[in-house]
């Protein structure tokens, strides 16, 4: 039996990736979501957390006037809840060294493109506008460089000839909801490590 990995989830929006993790945990994923933190009081992800009985901390724009103080508050909440890993799921704030030093190589982020291509907040639209034939998603460890931390996993998504931006977005989100729980299982099983080369290595099962 794998001991459940205790995670804190950070979000800013609808919380569909949070829901995917909640659902996967209900089906045997060895993960225990001990705290959800929302950067916005109107994020629907808060309702998803409450419906699942997960304690939620709700912040607002004013709290982030001092980003490091905001992260110190989040770190304190996560530590109190016993979180071992931080999982960003549609979290639209850049984490500061306060968070990264509290959870070294234990802050995961999900990016809707194949890094290092199409960094930033509009990755799906940027890839679509560029006319690429393949895009995808990346799960990586956050670091101080935006969208540049060590890559844990990637999955390709074909851009179809008849795709609209909305159709492509929907398919990317579907893949996110599969890949993120898969990565969390690898972490829970102790198979993920960051080498001295700052590359992620996945041990065989």
Residues annotated within a binding site:
15-17, 61, 109
Q: How far apart are CA 61 and CA 25, in angstroms?
A: 31
- The tokens for 145 are 């460089």
**Residue with structure tokens 């998504």?**
157
- DSSP-derived letter for residue 42 is T
- The tokens for 105 are 């190589």
Q: How far apart are CA 107 and CA 164, in angstroms?
A: 32
Q: Which are the contacts of 58, defined by CB distance < 8 A and separation ≥ 6?
A: 38, 41, 46
Angle in degrees, CA 113, 115, 116, rounded to 5? 135
* Catalytic site residue from 111, 122, 140, 201: 111
The beta-strand segments (E) located in 107-196 are: 107-111, 134-141, 151-158, 192-194
**Known binding residues for (6R)-10-formyltetrahydrofolate:** 61, 109
Q: How far apart are CA 44 and CA 12, in angstroms?
A: 8
Q: How many CB atoms lie within 10 A of CB 161?
A: 6
Is there a catalytic annotation at residue 201? no
| Cross-strand bridge partners of residue 135 | 157
| Cross-strand bridge partners of residue 37 | 10, 57
* Catalytic residue list: 111
């Amino acid at each position: 039996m794998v001991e459940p990995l205790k995670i804190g989830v950070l979000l800013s929006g609808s919380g569909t990736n949070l829901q995917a993790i909640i659902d996967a945990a209900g089906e045997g994923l060895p993960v225990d979501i001990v705290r959800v933190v929302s950067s916005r009081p109107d994020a629907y992800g808060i309702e998803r957390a409450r419906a699942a009985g997960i304690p939620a901390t709700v912040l607002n724009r004013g709290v982030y006037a001092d980003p490091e103080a905001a992260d110190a508050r989040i770190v304190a909440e996560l530590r109190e809840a016993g979180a071992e890993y931080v999982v960003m799921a549609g979290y639209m704030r850049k984490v500061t060294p306060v968070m990264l030093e509290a959870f070294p190589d234990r802050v995961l982020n999900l990016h809707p493109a194949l890094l290092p291509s199409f960094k930033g907040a509009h990755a799906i639209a940027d890839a679509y506008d560029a006319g690429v034939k393949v895009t995808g998603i990346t799960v990586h460890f956050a670091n101080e460089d935006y969208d540049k931390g060590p890559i844990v996993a990637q999955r390709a998504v074909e851009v179809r000839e008849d795709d609209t931006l909305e159709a492509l977005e929907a398919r990317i989100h579907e893949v996110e909801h599969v890949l993120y729980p898969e990565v969390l299982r690898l972490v829970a099983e102790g198979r993920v490590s960051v080498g001295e080369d700052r590359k992620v290595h996945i041990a065989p099962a």
